[in-house]
Chains A and B, each alone.
Chain A
Amino acid sequence: DQQVKQNSPSLSVQEGRISILNCDYTNSMFDYFLWYKKYPAEGPTFLISISSIKDKNEDGRFTVFLNKSAKHLSLHIVPSQPGDSAVYFCAASYTFPSGGYQKVTFGTGTKLQVIP
């Protein structure tokens, strides 16, 4: 059962416009959410995160929104640049009740293409 879902495998956006990547989750225990960016032939790199106690986190051109009631988060990129073209993975984490270890579950990824 896929606990973290990215229903759009791909997205194309014109340079300068907004890119919105969506992610849905099913596990109410998740308490931290992350976005990773992956270029071809490279490993994923951390982009931005948000705690479940917040509904918005912003870092430059990147903003993540969290709607806990809908179990939905989104990543906004404004303005989009050609260098943003990559695969974006949504990830969700929760703390094991015993031991405090983090368990991270990744989504399937969305391939973003920013067209010059």
Chain B
Amino acid sequence: IAGITQAPTSQILAAGRRMTLRCTQDMRHNAMYWYRQDLGLGLRLIHYSNTAGTTGKGEVPDGYSVSRANTDDFPLTLASAVPSQTSVYFCASSRTPYSYEQYFGPGTRLTVT
């Protein structure tokens, strides 16, 4: 089934640990995004990539890094997790960086203790 997969589905992580959230799409979309969803704050953009090999900072990039080595994969890394990074993380893609519609993965629920 075409779409976006994210792993893990959920994770409990000790503060200070490193964690990589995985995101893979099979739609050959050029642009990919990482959002976090927090109660009362909606979806906030962390990082984005307009095409393979390029990345950019979103609204809340601090404490996160991304890479885009190929079209399909867009991992998000927390170098040293803090409790404020407890959230639900969504990966999304769009056909091009000029496209309005984004397609979302099922999310990763991360709890940092």
Q: Which residues of A contact B (CB under 8 A)?
A: 4, 6, 9, 32, 34, 36, 41-46, 49, 89, 93, 95, 99-102, 104, 106-109
Contacts and interface: CB of A to CB of B under 8 A. Distances in A.
Nearest to A104: B102
A89 B43 contact: yes
Interface string B73-90: 000000000000000001
Contacts of A4: 42
Pick from B40, B44, B98, B100 the residue with the most CB of A within 10 Å. B100
Interface in B8-45: 35, 40-45
25 contacts: A4-B42, A6-B42, A9-B40, A34-B100, A41-B107, A43-B90, A43-B104, A43-B107, A44-B43, A44-B90, A44-B104, A46-B102, A93-B100, A95-B98, A101-B50, A101-B97, A101-B98, A102-B94, A102-B97, A104-B45, A106-B42, A106-B44, A107-B42, A108-B40, A108-B42
